[in-house]
């Protein structure tokens, strides 16, 4: 699961749904006021897929109730969907819909889901568009220090004592496989990497749960840290912290960020020209 499936209150549920939509590439906001033929209505979460040709609109009703949602709520939501012209509507709750409400949504553009089911629905997209790129970017910073060949690093090592060079080698032995493996998460955009059996593409497969991911990967490449995360969001933050701590060890050794100028030059080159 991306987040804990039972938020403490409805505001946390709203915020979680909105955050998820933003992270998969939608333009999403909470408590959006929309104009209808009968006046205005405020919806819990409103999102637009700006990348789609028809600017697909999503509306979400968040009900953090302890019981299943009755048909009357779906009736009211149907009116909102009709009058706003939204393309797809979700009723997200803790317990889902009552059987009568489920039957009512058949052959409509309304879907009743628990918060966990919403996360499962969008997990593959979130994995590709959010988890993998952020993890890969963090790993790339460490990779500069541990990759086999790097001219900037070699020049710096050439000015250092044998003792410090030995410290660097020990750090590479500790973090090299970790950084190199996680840097592959930035390569998810290459479809052939995923489709090539036996390649590193298997790393990018969407895991079924956090424990499976830890067993498949982290216990092999990161024996120096015991991961305790229960959700993928927590795990992403924990991994980024471990990567940042590893980078800090190299910064302490070299006394500076020896790649700062290169990163700043790359950032300038990647900025769009302005007039």
Question: Is residue 18 pLDDT above 80, yes or no?
Answer: yes
Residue 43 near residue 20 (C-beta atoms within 8 A): no
Q: Please state which of the ranges 69-78, 102-111, 137-146, 181-190 shows the lowest mean pLDDT.
A: 181-190
CA atoms within 13 A on the CB side of 191: 0
For residue 260 the two structure tokens come to 């700062």
Comparing CA positions, the residue from 120, 129, 133, 139 lying closest to residue 239 is 139
Three-state DSSP string of 156-184: HHCCCCHHHHHHHHHHHHHHHHHHHHHHH
Question: Could you tell me the residue ranges of all domains in the chain?
Answer: 10-108, 123-266
Which CATH topology does 10-108 take? Trna Endonuclease; Chain: A, domain 1 (3.40.1350)
Determine the Cα–Cα distance for residues 189 and 156; give it in Å rounded to an integer: 33
Determine the Cα–Cα distance for residues 98 and 102; give it in Å rounded to an integer: 6
Residue with tokens 């500069």: 144
DSSP 3-state of 30 = strand
Question: Is residue 176 pLDDT above 70, yes or no?
Answer: yes
The pairing of strands 39-49 and 110-114 is unpaired
Per the model's pLDDT, the better-predicted residue between 265 and 215 turns out to be: 215
Per-residue pLDDT, 199: 45
- Surface-to-core class of residue 221, CB atoms within 10 Å of its CB (0-12 exposed, 13-18 middle, 19+ buried): middle
What would the pLDDT profile of 224-241 be if each residue is shown by its tens digit?
888 889 999 999 999 999
User: What average pLDDT does this structure show over 12-40?
Assistant: 95
Quote the pTM value: 0.88
Per-residue pLDDT, 270: 64
Residue 249 near residue 171 (C-beta atoms within 8 A): yes
């Amino acid at each position: 699961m991306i987040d804990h499936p039972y938020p403490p209150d409805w505001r946390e549920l709203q915020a979680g749904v909105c955050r998820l939509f933003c992270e998969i590439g939608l333009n999403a906001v909470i408590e959006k006021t929309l104009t209808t033929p009968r006046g205005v209505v405020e919806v819990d979460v409103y999102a637009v897929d700006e990348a789609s040709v028809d600017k697909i609109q999503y509306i979400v009703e968040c009900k953090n109730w302890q019981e299943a949602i009755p048909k009357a709520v779906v009736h009211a939501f149907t009116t909102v969907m009709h009058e706003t012209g939204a393309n797809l509507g979700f009723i997200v709750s803790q317990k889902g819909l009552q059987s009568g409400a489920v039957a009512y949504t058949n052959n409509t553009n309304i879907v009743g889901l628990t918060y966990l089911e919403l996360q499962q629905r969008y997990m593959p997209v979130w994995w590709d568009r959010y988890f993998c790129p952020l993890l890969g970017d963090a790993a790339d910073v460490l990779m500069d220090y541990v990759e086999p060949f790097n001219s900037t690093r070699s020049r710096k090592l050439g000015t250092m004592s044998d003792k410090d060079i030995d410290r660097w080698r020990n750090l590479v032995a500790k973090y090299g496989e970790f950084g190199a493996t996680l840097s592959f998460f930035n390569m998810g955009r290459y479809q052939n990497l995923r489709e090539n059996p036996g390649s590193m593409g298997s790393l990018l497969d969407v895991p079924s749960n956090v424990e499976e991911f830890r067993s498949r990967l982290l216990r092999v490449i990161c024996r120096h840290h015991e991961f305790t995360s229960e959700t993928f969001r927590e795990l992403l933050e924990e991994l980024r912290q471990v990567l940042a701590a590893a980078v800090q060890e190299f910064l302490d050794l070299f006394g500076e960020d020896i790649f700062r100028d290169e990163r700043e030059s790359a950032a300038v080159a990647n900025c769009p020209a302005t007039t």
